[in-house]
Structure 1
Amino acid sequence: MSLIAIQDLSLARSQVLFTGVSFTIAKGDRLGLVAANGRGKSSLLRIIANEEDATTGSVTPARGLVVAIAPQDPPERLLSLSFHDAVRDALTPEVAETESWRVDILLDDLAVDEAIRDRAVRGLSGGWQRTMLLARAAVVEPDLLLLDEPTNHLDIGRIGVLERVLGAVPRDCAVVVASHDRAFLDDVTNRTLFLRPEDSADFSMPYSRALQALEERDAARDRQFENDMRKVRALRQQAAKLKNIGINSGSDLLVVKTKQLSQRADKLEEQARPGHRERSAGMIRLTNSGTHAKALVTIKDTGITAPDGRLLFRTGRYWIENGDRVALLGANGTGKTRLVERLRASLAGSDPDIRRATSLKLGYSDQALSQLDAFATPWDAVKRSSNLPDHQARSLLAGAGIGIDAQAAPLARLSGGQRARLAMLILRLAQPNFYLLDEPTNHLDINGQDMLQSELIEHGAACLLVSHDRTFVRTVATRIWVITNKRLIEVDDPDPVFDRLMTG
């Protein structure tokens, strides 16, 4: 049964985001919504939720349909409420009075600690705020659940909790997920809609299989386009020959035939369409300035401690060589961030247990992109990070997806994707030979993730990275370090670690 029908939808802002989008959502659908940053995914969700108007087209819900949306960020009015009260606020006063137990059961399912439930939303991490927004949407028991980037800021363990909660959603409830997390989409969806400026594509399969089908369809259309254009050229060549013969012979029949051939060529050329070419939200380029040192970082057996001095784990003896791409995995609270902080401090100063090669040049990015806080605008960031002439600085910013109008604007006005690309650009300008990356794919769309993967691999960059993105880790990492039982160990295969972290 169809819950909602979307017909010939289009949306234009400063540019056309999408046109001619038509699809239906039925009971039990688990639809993944995929597009580049800034291409209208969040807007489409809000249109479906009747929170925003489309430029053209129609959205027709079933009678009595209950729709709930979990946006990316909490509204201002919820920030002063406790986690528990912010979720309870989603219920009508009558339901909250008689069925507030729904909140407690759902928060148990979401493995929300009692201490978290009483804390103000304003003071929560991005991951807990996302969990609160999901709980608000789910607690109303909707017929259609809309989720906007639900895994952003979540560690692997909490992604596992989210997947289990979505797996327990009643089968007659439909779920639409806008996400850049490829493994998550494969796990929780059975349909994929690729949202495009025109000719959006809907496949009844999860992301990875749908992407393969989409690429095959685009390749087939490219082949058809090339065949059509060959026919166009052949028709025009024939028309030109007949025109010359007709002029020389004075034959009216050949003049008519020439006109017919030209019209056929024009019509075929007008109808011919190449395969889709995604407009990039901005390039991601890195560099590796190179070093002759074999071991860039050497770690003696040392203790990594919490801020209160409590031992989190011991490292054992490890080193990172030129070209190593080390992924650091572990449950939340085991000390991943503390190791990153210790490494950063030691590489910037001195540490008796962590030695660096004299030629090491560090490039650092944390999950909050706090390295951008020192700059007022994107222009300021590039100019203070380089000696580039103005025209080249503007070109680099534009190439990173930051247009001329945004280059002198406050950084706060940038989207998450633009901030992530700007951070990668600043890293590139520093010309490091060792990258320390904490959740580098946060806010990056799939195209951006692919670019970052390619840059790290193709340039043979040495790095240590922390990431909850399983696809990114599988693709990039050459070594896997795991924090477990208060020890740092190295394993060959990340998948058993992912499985253990996902199941808690």
Structure 2
Amino acid sequence: MIIAQGHDLEQRFGATPLFSNVNFTIENNARIGLVGPNGVGKTTLLKIMTGKQEATHGEFTVNKGIELGYIAQEHDFDESKSIWDEMITVFQPLIDQGKQLEQLQYAVADHPEDQDLLKKLDQAQFSFEQAGGYTYQAEMKSMLNGFNFPQAAWQKQIASLSGGEKTRLSFVKLLLKKPPLLLLDEPTNYLDLDTLDWLEAFLKNYPGAIVTVSHDQYFLDHLATQIFELNHGALTIFKGNYSQYLAQRELRDQQQEAAFEKQQEEIKRQEEFIQKNIVRASTTKQAQSRRKALEKMDLIDPPKHSGKVRISFKSARPSGKEVLILKDLTIGYPDKVMLRDIDFQINKGDRVAVIGPNGIGKSTLLKTVVKQLEPKGGSIKYGASLDIGYYDQELQGLDYSKTVIDTIWDKHRDMDEKDIRSILASFLFTAKDIDKKVSQLSGGQRARLTLTVLSMEHDNFLLMDEPTNHLDIEAKEVLEKALASYDGTLLFVSHDRYFINQLANKIVAVRDGHAKIYEGNYSYYLDEKAKQAQAEAEKAPAAPQLVKTSDSKLSYQEQKKRDSEKRKLQRLVDQAEQQLAELEAKEADIQQQMADPAIAADFSKLGPLQEDLTAVQEELEKVSAQWEENSLKLEDFD
């Protein structure tokens, strides 16, 4: 079912159109990725959809009763409140409903014989339960934990949070509201890998429609079933995820290129005929006819996916085989240890990704390797003939008072201005851009300028801290290809899972103050994590397969071991039977309390009892399974 649609949307800034003739529909279960280079109007289109901005022409309509939820970089909080108090405002209508239910319960307690009141109470309790009245706090806790807000932080004042934390909290608040249409602007910014995995799983099962602007290809591949490409003032719709969109786009561009070239050949042939025959009396009419046909011809445009950033990295000299060896390394700051016992080796040609939660010490590791920080323990051994280049995610290597061209020229005085302009043009800096001061550039332009500087140093060991931040999705693709063909060694920190998966041949996973090495890409890392989780779930050792044999054939030691195992299993069975008896008694007691009319009419007492009953029944099921498993093992001894 269509729940919203855009019709002939156009947005102009003065006389210049940003986009025009934009038409689309949104189904009730849509998963749409809105993509395109920076500056083409993706966020503007989202704002038109939310009503925050009015289109120059056309309209966006939403079906009656469909609520939109929008997350952007702005935050809508009462910052004087705690995290918990702000989040619970989402459920104020439900809280008010609970208060009305409580008043109705008091009325029933005063007039238990009133059948109409009892009927109203029954309906109100059912409505309250269906709306999540008994579970909304559990939902809040789950969502806060999923977005990496542990219980210890729930009473923190929102004003004390960082920008990234506020963005995550905006997401929590929005998802708790569950609007039928979610509009997300760069939702993966500021999220670590664990949170991203959690968010993807949540959004896959989200009951409404989703439209998201994102530069995260991994996210779009796992979520989107449609791609809306906004580029060159037009919207084009593709079926499938982002990788499927790229394949379709490439095929379309190839077909358009072929059609364009064929038409250009035909135009050239016709123009040559016209030039030869226009002055001849016998053929002038035919030439004039062909000229008119040419003037009326619908011209095919060349493919528009050109003008990409052209990045390349090449080392000036080869490094030694061993590039970096970290031994028992402890890193941090004078007053704080971040990571301990780091042991791994990087060899020539390796592509090593450092991953882990925000604030755990990934950037600290890179800063220690480039000698911006002193190690707190252990050793760092650098390989022979090593030239180290460093990309800082804060882009602090730039002098904001300099112009773009001087940023390059000051480092390469012997280069001609023409050559510098050519290199900057390959990184999409226009003639106007290169005379701007660095302070006037956007985040994406500063990132490209930093990459320009780095590419010209020709280092053989690159350390890059979040190199895809600030880059649009096409620029990231170009950077990924450039680094894949780089002839040196790479150590990088990233939250971009697609980027990591395409580049890394080793993963350094940082968690709980330690680093663990995985010899593979991100998919391999996920597989290994899944195996570890399964192994932990199966920690209880399987019972030995006992061969049925007579006691007389067993040695004394074998018989002794067998008897010991049998006694152990018998104890486990006896303990489980005792637990089952206690849990069944507890279950019966709770059920008896819930049957009490006074409690049944009081949701404030009934709710906690229901939670207790559920917990007891889950424990009963668990213990019963253990009892059955051990009982079967015990039978093998008979």
**Shorter-chain TM-score tier:** 0.7 to 0.9
Q: Which residue of 1 aligns with 2:250?
A: 215
Q: Which has the higher contact order (CA 8 A, sep 6+)?
A: 1
Q: Which residue of 2 aligns with 1:133?
A: 170
Aligned letter for 2:520? D
| Secondary structure class of the residue paired with 1:47 | helix
Shift of 1:126: 5.0
Shift of 1:238: 3.8
* Structure 2 Cα separation of the partners of residues 440 and 450 of structure 1: 12
* Structure 1 Cα separation of the partners of residues 458 and 160 of structure 2: 36
For 1:329, which of 355, 376, 384 is the aligned residue?
355
Taking only the aligned residue pairs, the percentage that are identical comes to: 29
- 1:285, 1:424 within 8 Å by CA — same for their partners in 2? no
* Structure 2 Cα separation of the partners of residues 302 and 227 of structure 1: 63
The answer to whether residue 312 in structure 2 is matched with residue 265 in structure 1 is no
The answer to whether residue 210 in structure 2 is matched with residue 175 in structure 1 is yes
Q: Which residue of 2 aligns with 1:277?
A: 305
Q: Which runs of 5+ in 1 are unaligned?
A: none
Change (3 A) 1:394 1:239: closer
Aligned letter for 1:257? Q
Change (3 A) 1:493 1:424: closer
After superposition, the C-alpha distances for 1:157-189 in whole angstroms (9 at most, x for unaligned) are 11011112212321xx11001111111101111
After superposition, the C-alpha distances for 1:293-327 in whole angstroms (9 at most, x for unaligned) are 33332323434468765574423352332x32222
Q: Which runs of 5+ in 2 are unaligned?
A: 98-132, 534-638
Higher helix share: 2
Q: Which residue of 2 aligns with 1:467?
A: 494
Shift of 1:3: 1.8
For 1:375, which of 375, 393, 400 is the aligned residue?
400
The more displaced of 288-297 and 217-226 is: 288-297
* Structure 1 Cα separation of the partners of residues 378 and 454 of structure 2: 27
TM-score, with length taken from structure 1 = 0.84
Shift of 1:370: 3.6
TM-score, with length taken from structure 2 = 0.68
Shift of 1:48: 1.0
* Structure 1 Cα separation of the partners of residues 286 and 333 of structure 2: 85
* Structure 2 Cα separation of the partners of residues 5 and 292 of structure 1: 57
Q: Which residue of 2 aligns with 1:228?
A: 263
User: Considering only CA atoms, is the larger Rg found in Structure 1 or Structure 2?
Assistant: 2
Paired residues, number: 490
* Structure 2 Cα separation of the partners of residues 108 and 292 of structure 1: 45
Shift of 1:279: 4.1
* Structure 1 Cα separation of the partners of residues 60 and 79 of structure 2: 31
Shift of 1:154: 1.7
The answer to whether residue 42 in structure 2 is matched with residue 41 in structure 1 is yes
* Structure 2 Cα separation of the partners of residues 216 and 402 of structure 1: 29
Shift of 1:139: 3.0
**Within 5 A, what are the aligned runs for 1:92-491?**
101=137, 103-104=140-141, 106-121=143-158, 123-170=160-207, 173-244=208-279, 246-247=280-281, 249=282, 254-268=283-297, 270-280=298-308, 282-304=309-331, 312-321=339-348, 323-330=349-356, 335-345=361-371, 353-357=379-383, 359-372=385-398, 374-379=399-404, 381-382=407-408, 385-387=411-413, 397=424, 399-403=426-430, 411=438, 413-483=440-510, 486-491=514-519
- 2:331, 2:340 within 8 Å by CA — same for their partners in 1? yes
The more displaced of 340-349 and 40-49 is: 340-349
| Secondary structure class of the residue paired with 1:345 | coil
Aligned letter for 2:371? A
- 2:327, 2:341 within 8 Å by CA — same for their partners in 1? no
Q: Which residue of 2 aligns with 1:54?
A: 55
Change (3 A) 1:500 1:191: farther
Task: Please provide the CA RMSD for this pair.
Answer: 3.6
Change (3 A) 1:92 1:259: farther
* Structure 1 Cα separation of the partners of residues 344 and 206 of structure 2: 46
Shift of 1:273: 2.6
| Secondary structure class of the residue paired with 2:491 | strand
| Secondary structure class of the residue paired with 1:32 | strand
* Structure 2 Cα separation of the partners of residues 205 and 307 of structure 1: 51
- 1:301, 1:317 within 8 Å by CA — same for their partners in 2? no
* Structure 2 Cα separation of the partners of residues 105 and 326 of structure 1: 33
* Structure 2 Cα separation of the partners of residues 238 and 108 of structure 1: 74
The more displaced of 256-265 and 20-29 is: 256-265
